[in-house]
Chains A and B, each alone.
Chain A
Amino acid sequence: MSAIIKHIPSWDVWGWTVVALLVPIAFHRLFLKLSGMLAAQPLSYSTPQGSCVHDQPSQAPFSGDYDTDLSDIEKRIGGNSDVSIRPFTMTRIGARAVLILVDGMQNDRLLNLQMMDYLMSEATPDLLTTADQGALKLPFCNLIVTPGADSFAQSVLFGHAGLLIEGLGKGLLVELPDGMNRQMNEPVSEALLRGPRVGFTEVLSENTSLLRRQGFSEQLEMKSYCVGTRLKKDLVVAYIKDIVNPDLLQEVEKRVSRMNIDFASESGYVEQLIEDDVLSPFQQLQNTERPDRVIHALLEGRVAILLDGTPFVLIAPATFSMLLQSPEDYYERWLPSSLLRLMRFGAAFLALMAPAFYISFISFHPGLIPTELAITIIETRQGVPFPSLIEVLILEISIEILREAGIRLPKPIGPAMGIVGGLIIGDAAVQAGIVSPFLVIVVAVTAISSFSIPSYSAGITLRMLRFAGMLFAAFLGIFGTILFFLLLCSHLSKLKSFGVPYLTPATPFRLRDWKDFLIRAPLTTMKRRPAMMKPQDDRRQS
């Protein structure tokens, strides 16, 4: 009996027991509440497939009477100062017609002149009758018939040239928008030494054509959706028909068509609305500016999502290893590529953990590093008035500020700023005795390591998590650092991107996919597509 009583814990242990119970429950509740609150609310209906110009369900069809229709259109959009309405008469038909367009959207004046000339003096009545397949005989390549005044007005404002002809009862869109575009440039965020120097632009049709131009294939399929409940915009889902897993495609299409947002301004909006886990620090779709990267992903059985108005294309599903791979790995020979890739994984680990290790070694276990090194570090730290956490925070935060400032600065000043910030402030901080020189090395190595991560978004994730790691290390030393690592592993093991476990192929273990994971095996060994995508056709080479 007394033995049992002796083992009944004291009051403070009971107190901690209550804490032990309450903390996870509180976290769980908070997590449930947050994810319930933050999770994307999909639309109750799904947007039908088709681009914004083609088939918008029209609420107000044309009446068929030319004057009513014209005044209706004028009422809708005629108040805009940039809309020019040019009425004319088609002499050979003897019908009135009007060309409506928005200034600056139609570049090719010459074509417009020829078109006007043709319409006014050459068009014959039989052209207005429908031919065999129900299409008008008008000799325009880009001829879209809109039955509704709504979509007609919207398309004209978007840049199409609209044409109304007396007696036709329908609106015609005769020219595609041809506004000012940016030139195709080398992608800024993903520069490579070897590989195509072309990046996506802001125009959807150019982006899709870039993808098409990667090679001859009838299997590359693109389906467009008109997304946005207020300002509508085209979005294209691209995939290779006989490779992609139909379940994956269906899931992507389902999520895309149910996006609930009034305006998708950048593919980042799409990404955040269709991702699996809002609370995860890791991105679950990859964004890229490089067409070659997209086409490689498609050939692996992934799906690409292109949005009009942004050069960033999303690739779904994303896995952790993708974030540390660069297209160049495949262009260079396999030995250097494998080594570079291994180095990148190492750099990512350093970028995440180096400051945490510094804190735990300096503050908790100087005994675990070689004695002479420990003595050297401690000597350099003499006179530093802060605990190591504050010391690291000072330097890490200033580096982050420098980096943020460097992005905003005009190009000629940026490098100068880096020199001033990095070298002079670092040196001065050491001279002033605020931080130790060893720490400057650690922070510099961390920063450089995080630059070596090919994807910018993955870089920010690691930068953010680094601070969490530092806090863990500051509380529990190396024990806390290990705990942090385990928590991260637990999170990544739970995380899925469109049903694909985030850590594949490390776990679930797929040996076949390891050929393209930490190393990049020779191309001849990669005869099959990654098993994690469960593609329909999994032979790459026969």
Chain B
Amino acid sequence: MFIRTDNKITRSQAIVFLTNTVLGAGILTMPRSVSQAMHTPDSWLAILLSGLLILPIVWLMTRLSLYYPGLTVFQYAGRIVGRLPGTVLGLMLVVFCITIAGFEIRILAEVTMFFLLEGTPIWAIILPFIWAGTYLVSGGIQAIARVYQIVFPLTILVLLVSFGVSLRLFDIDNLRPVLGDGLAPVWDGVKASILIFSGCEVVLTIVGFMDQPRYAVRTMLTGIAIPAVLYLLTIIVVVGGMSLNTVITSTWPTLDLVRSFEITGFFIERLEFPLMVIWLMQMFCNFCSFFFQASLGISQLFRLPPQPVIFALVPIIFLTAMAVDKQKELFALGDIIGYMSIGLFVLLTVPLLIIQIIRKRGRRQHE
């Protein structure tokens, strides 16, 4: 076949898809939110733990999807639990995706208004961004995955360079004492850091799009391990470079860290600019992922053509982004999304997996 007509993505595309979906707003806010919940410098332990925790969750999701190769969760949920409950479960995921898309875009608008475009009305930032996303999402999963493949290497490069340069501020004492207050705060930290991995639900859909599902487990685990490692690096560099107290008081600690020093004699003295650029691109990817998931969910659940669904979602996402009033509420919404993510896992993945296993066992005994 020379001309591809299928709608599949390759392994590397699947890895990048998952990574780009998970790696979003968290890079800038996560050090603060986790540190605030813990008040000890052990936040890196919390991230490490939650990173290790997310691996089996992703593994479970992949196993579940592998029972129905070529199908997304919106299609097989109905087959497992029946049409109506399946639709309800699918709708939950859709609502989750819309919420998180609105949230991400609002965070983006806040950061842009604070650092780049002071005084610009918020709709002027949000609307073009959603429209650009609409253009990309209309292209389907292959186009989206291709854009991710362009953005991803740039992100990794800039992130690693800025972290590497920030190491000059790194002071190991900022990370001490280890477990000074025992394990209790670490658990609070793990709870707070769930938000940064929310979005891994995308596994339930992309496994169905993989052209080689037999590698799905390895691919998905790699896809989630990359953001986990990047988050771990972020928290170590940020807390180690800024000390706990500064991190807690700063709204966007990672940006503040990069802003706090200058590289003299270079064209760009502060790495804030490249970091902002790749972060904006990363947010675009992130947003498009959720936008795509939501549109895919609705069009598959109700058998609608995708293009009108995408258009109908544009105002909904816009309203979601505008519904939040203040920054404080925004961060509260972030926490809610974290809990929604847990809730989805408990309400969607686990029951589906259990029922599927029971049904399969039953079928086998039957035969």
CB-CB under 8 A for A493 and B143, given A16-B318, A23-B131: yes
A247 CA to B269 CA, complexed, in Å: 53
Query: Cβ of B322 and Cβ of A506 under 8 Å apart?
Result: no
Query: Size band of the B side of the interface?
Result: 35 or more
Interface residues of A (CB under 8 A from B): 6-9, 13, 16-21, 23-25, 27-28, 245, 247-248, 251, 364-365, 368-371, 476-480, 482-483, 485-487, 489-491, 493-494, 498-499, 501, 503, 506-509, 534
A20 CA to B322 CA, complexed, in Å: 12
Query: Cβ of A508 and Cβ of B13 under 8 Å apart?
Result: yes
Query: Cβ of A21 and Cβ of B315 under 8 Å apart?
Result: yes
A499 CA to B151 CA, complexed, in Å: 23
Query: Cβ of B323 and Cβ of A7 under 8 Å apart?
Result: yes
Query: Cβ of B151 and Cβ of A489 under 8 Å apart?
Result: yes
Query: Cβ of B128 and Cβ of A493 under 8 Å apart?
Result: no
Give A490's nearest chain B residue, CB to CB.
Answer: B136
Q: Mark B156-185, 1 if CB is under 8 A from A, else 0.
A: 000000000000000000000000000000
Give B279's nearest chain A residue, CB to CB.
Answer: A482
Query: Cβ of A9 and Cβ of B322 under 8 Å apart?
Result: yes
Among B306-365, those with CB < 8 Å from A are: 307, 311-312, 314-315, 318-319, 322-325
Known: A368-B268, A368-B270, A509-B149; 7 extra A-B contacts, CB below 8 A, are A17-B322, A20-B130, A368-B276, A476-B128, A477-B116, A479-B125, A486-B281
| Residues of A close to B260: CB separation below 8 A | none
A310 CA to B229 CA, complexed, in Å: 57
| Residues of A close to B269: CB separation below 8 A | 369-371
CB-CB under 8 A for A370 and B280, given A247-B2, A508-B149: no
**8 residue pairs from A and B, CB less than 8 Å apart:** A6-B325, A18-B315, A20-B130, A482-B281, A483-B132, A498-B3, A501-B146, A508-B149
Query: Cβ of B13 and Cβ of A509 under 8 Å apart?
Result: yes
Query: How close is B35's CB to chain A, nearest CB, in angstroms?
Result: 27
Q: Return the 10 tightest CB-CB contacts between A and B, nearest first.
A: A499-B3, A247-B2, A493-B146, A507-B149, A490-B136, A507-B146, A370-B269, A494-B139, A21-B315, A17-B315
Query: Cβ of A479 and Cβ of B136 under 8 Å apart?
Result: no
The residue in A247, A477, A507 that gathers the most chain B C-beta atoms within 10 A of its C-beta is A507
Query: Cβ of B117 and Cβ of A21 under 8 Å apart?
Result: no
| Residues of A close to B131: CB separation below 8 A | 20, 23-24, 27
The residue in A251, A370, A534 that gathers the most chain B C-beta atoms within 10 A of its C-beta is A370
Query: Cβ of B267 and Cβ of A25 under 8 Å apart?
Result: no
B10 within 8 A of A: yes
Query: How close is B94's CB to chain A, nearest CB, in angstroms?
Result: 18
B52 within 8 A of A: no
Query: Cβ of B311 and Cβ of A476 under 8 Å apart?
Result: no
Query: How close is A483's CB to chain B, nearest CB, in angstroms?
Result: 5
Query: Cβ of A476 and Cβ of B143 under 8 Å apart?
Result: no
Query: How close is B324's CB to chain A, nearest CB, in angstroms?
Result: 8
Query: Cβ of B147 and Cβ of A486 under 8 Å apart?
Result: yes
Query: How close is B84's CB to chain A, nearest CB, in angstroms?
Result: 28
Query: How close is A276's CB to chain B, nearest CB, in angstroms?
Result: 11
A27 CA to B303 CA, complexed, in Å: 24
Give A506's nearest chain B residue, CB to CB.
Answer: B150
Query: Cβ of A490 and Cβ of B135 under 8 Å apart?
Result: yes
Give A246's nearest chain B residue, CB to CB.
Answer: B2
B42 within 8 A of A: no
* Residue from A13, A245, A493 within 8 A of B2 (CB atoms): A245
Query: How close is A169's CB to chain B, nearest CB, in angstroms?
Result: 47
A493 CA to B152 CA, complexed, in Å: 14
Among B257-281, those with CB < 8 Å from A are: 267-270, 272-273, 276-277, 280-281
Query: Cβ of A20 and Cβ of B149 under 8 Å apart?
Result: no
Query: Cβ of B322 and Cβ of A479 under 8 Å apart?
Result: no
Interface residues of B (CB under 8 A from A): 1-4, 10, 12-13, 112, 116-117, 120, 123-125, 127-132, 134-136, 138-139, 142-147, 149-151, 267-270, 272-273, 276-277, 280-281, 284, 307, 311-312, 314-315, 318-319, 322-325
A202 CA to B139 CA, complexed, in Å: 41
A370 CA to B262 CA, complexed, in Å: 9
CB-CB under 8 A for A482 and B2, given A17-B319, A20-B127: no
The residue in A371, A479, A485, A508 that gathers the most chain B C-beta atoms within 10 A of its C-beta is A479
A486 CA to B280 CA, complexed, in Å: 10
Query: Cβ of B325 and Cβ of A7 under 8 Å apart?
Result: yes
Query: How close is B25's CB to chain A, nearest CB, in angstroms?
Result: 16
| Residues of A close to B311: CB separation below 8 A | 21, 24-25, 28
A9 CA to B106 CA, complexed, in Å: 14
From DSSP, what is the main secondary structure of chain A's interface residues?
A: helix
Give B323's nearest chain A residue, CB to CB.
Answer: A7
Give A15's nearest chain B residue, CB to CB.
Answer: B123
Give A244's nearest chain B residue, CB to CB.
Answer: B2
A128 CA to B2 CA, complexed, in Å: 50
Query: Cβ of A368 and Cβ of B272 under 8 Å apart?
Result: yes
* Residue from A7, A248, A486 within 8 A of B132 (CB atoms): A486
Give B277's nearest chain A residue, CB to CB.
Answer: A482
| Residues of A close to B312: CB separation below 8 A | 21
Give B134's nearest chain A residue, CB to CB.
Answer: A24
The residue in B125, B269, B322 that gathers the most chain A C-beta atoms within 10 A of its C-beta is B322
| Residues of A close to B128: CB separation below 8 A | 476, 480, 483
Query: Cβ of A251 and Cβ of B2 under 8 Å apart?
Result: yes
Query: Cβ of A251 and Cβ of B117 under 8 Å apart?
Result: no
| Residues of A close to B124: CB separation below 8 A | 476
Give B130's nearest chain A residue, CB to CB.
Answer: A20
A438 CA to B147 CA, complexed, in Å: 34
| Residues of B close to A489: CB separation below 8 A | 147, 150-151
Query: Cβ of A503 and Cβ of B277 under 8 Å apart?
Result: no
Query: Cβ of A479 and Cβ of B117 under 8 Å apart?
Result: yes
Give B284's nearest chain A residue, CB to CB.
Answer: A486
| Residues of A close to B319: CB separation below 8 A | 9, 13, 17
Query: How close is B109's CB to chain A, nearest CB, in angstroms?
Result: 10
| Residues of A close to B284: CB separation below 8 A | 482, 486
| Residues of B close to A503: CB separation below 8 A | 146, 150
CB-CB under 8 A for A479 and B280, given A21-B311, A534-B2: yes
Query: Cβ of B325 and Cβ of A20 under 8 Å apart?
Result: no
Query: How close is A255's CB to chain B, nearest CB, in angstroms?
Result: 12
* Residue from A7, A16, A480 within 8 A of B127 (CB atoms): A16
Give B318's nearest chain A residue, CB to CB.
Answer: A20
Query: Cβ of A19 and Cβ of B127 under 8 Å apart?
Result: yes
A241 CA to B136 CA, complexed, in Å: 38
Give A484's nearest chain B residue, CB to CB.
Answer: B132
Query: Cβ of B116 and Cβ of A9 under 8 Å apart?
Result: no
Query: How close is B271's CB to chain A, nearest CB, in angstroms?
Result: 11
| Residues of B close to A17: CB separation below 8 A | 315, 318-319, 322
| Residues of B close to A479: CB separation below 8 A | 112, 116-117, 125, 280
Query: How close is A441's CB to chain B, nearest CB, in angstroms?
Result: 14
CB-CB under 8 A for A490 and B139, given A476-B128, A509-B12: yes
| Residues of A close to B3: CB separation below 8 A | 247, 251, 498-499
A108 CA to B343 CA, complexed, in Å: 90
Query: How close is B131's CB to chain A, nearest CB, in angstroms?
Result: 6
A117 CA to B117 CA, complexed, in Å: 88
A315 CA to B226 CA, complexed, in Å: 40
